[in-house]
Structure 1
Amino acid sequence: MLDSKLKKFVKGHSAFQKVKFKKNEERFKRLVEEGQNPKALFIGCSDSRVMPDMITGAKPGDLFIIRNIGNFVAPYKPDEDYHSTASAIEYAVSILEVSDIIVCGHSHCGAIEALYANLPQTDENLHTIKWLDLGRDAKKIASLAYKGKDRAEMLRYTEKISVVYQLENLLTYPGIQRRIEEGNLFLHAWHYDLESGVIEHYDDEIFEFIPLSQK
């Protein structure tokens, strides 16, 4: 017996089969026959309010997507036994050979807020606390810049600067370094505002986030 909360997903799947799948049936068939050839790797947050395909207008096959808590990127560490984010990055860069990598943060991010909560470590959040370490540098910078100022502004700044730090972590991957040097891979830092629907991108010439529409 399905939980009542899941019944809407069953109905949604039925509607997908009857309408959206039928409308895009030829595209799905080509994706099976020809394989995937995504335009970009999109690294976003697991937050249920962030929908990569929806906010970019991407179609099936356009984006290779990685989602995790805080849209963080762990630096290259070949001595680790398991690393799902790292393996997906390597696959997208070296196998699928995407031309662009987008790291997209968002407003009201729970992971960023958690950086300021000083959560106690327990057996139930061991991996989460460790994972949040990837946002500590951004917190340090934002805490100094916004000391004694508006907390909401500090959180928005932390979200944005954290995305820039994740780009630095991406640069530790050999495959990414190689392809950037070859001139066929480009990195992008984005921030999506939940309230306005606006995506801003980091302009490394003026060191500011500006609306993507101005890119």
Structure 2
Amino acid sequence: MTHLPAHLLNGYRNFMSGRFTTESKRYQTLAREGQSPSTLIIACCDSRAAPETIFDAGPGELFVVRNVANIIPPYTPDGSHHGTSAALEFAVQVLKVQDIVVMGHGRCGGIGAALNPSAQPLSPGDFIGKWMSMLAPAAEAIAGNGLLTQAERQTTLERISIRYQLANLRTFPCVKILEEKGRLRLHGAWFDISTGELWVMDPKSGDFERPSLD
């Protein structure tokens, strides 16, 4: 008797007969020597926007942190529990990643919730509402813009949020110091689920552009 859904066991079976067999030596090396990814990706937990799939990454290549709407809370060294901050600390201080990518995506449910804060909470704790309240100033400004359609407001906040998260990253002393020394690079990206397009943020202008794949 098994205690996992059948589709997960079928997927594992395919993994063992396919990718694991092909890359078994790499897995053995990773198990023996540990991981040393050069890139941290902070992405949304949306099942449609998996960084490992989008960037065709192999085992050990990416260190990925996923949460609702790819948010990085600002540096807050208090007594509370900070999962995203803990993962960031580990990636920067222990793994010594060289690049951090904040990757948002189209049709993000968390961003939709931020644009509609008056909606009925999903639970008494309203965890999503409280989490997305970190974007409240930008969300309120965009939600009140009658010149934009609903879809345009959604995409606008998805991309503005990425700039917010990059600013929050720089509130962490370890990130700010290493970036200033040229040992750490910060990037923003936005993925369109419908078309598969990847848009990359220009670090100087903040505009999003499609990279050339030639």
Global fold match (TM > 0.5): yes
Which one has the bigger helix percentage?
Answer: 1
TM-score by length of structure 1 reads 0.92
Question: For residues 69 and 109 of structure 1, what CA distance do their matches in structure 2 show?
Answer: 9
Quote how far apart the aligned CAs of 1:58 are: 1.1
> 2:37–2:61: 8 Å Cα contact kept in structure 1?
yes
Q: Does 1:172 align with 2:144?
A: no
Tell me which residue corresponds to 1:126.
126
What residue number does 1:62 align with?
61
Q: Quote the residue 1:195 is aligned against.
A: 194
Q: 1:72 and 1:115 mapped to 2: Cα distance?
A: 12
Which 10-residue stretch deviates more, 113-122 or 91-100?
113-122
**Contact kept? 1:45, 1:70, Cα under 8 Å:** yes
- 3-state SS of paired residue (2:212): helix
| Aligned equivalent of 2:138 | 138
- Alpha-carbon offset, residue 122 of structure 1: 7.2
Indicate if the aligned counterparts of 2:40 and 2:65 stay in contact, CA closer than 8 A: yes
Deviations 1:80-103 (A, max 9, x none): 420100000000011110000000
After TM superposition, give the deviation of residue 2 of structure 1 in Å.
Answer: 5.7
* TM-score of the aligned structures, taking structure 2 as reference length: 0.92
Q: Contact 1:73/1:134 (CA < 8 Å) preserved in 2? A: no
List 4+ stretches of structure 1 deviating above 6 A.
none
Q: Letter of the 2:9 partner, please give it.
A: V
- Residue 116 of structure 1 deviates from its aligned partner by 2.1
- The one-letter code sitting in structure 2 at the alignment partner of 1:36 is Q
CA deviation digits over 1:61-81, x for unaligned, max 9?
A: 111110000111100100142
Paired residue for 2:28? 29
* Residue identity opposite 1:211 in structure 2: R
Distance 1:152 1:176 in 2: 33
* Match runs of 1:1-215 below 5 Å: 6-117=5-116, 118-121=118-121, 124-143=124-143, 146-213=145-212
- Structure 1 unaligned runs (5+)? none
Instruction: Give 1:134 deviation, angstroms.
Output: 2.0
Q: Is the CA contact 2:115–2:140 (under 8 Å) kept in the aligned structure 1? A: no
CA RMSD of aligned residues (A): 2.0
Structure 2: 5+ residue stretches without partners: none
Query: Distance in 2 between the 1:110 and 1:123 partners?
Result: 16
- Pairwise CA distance, 1:119: 2.8
The aligned length equals 213
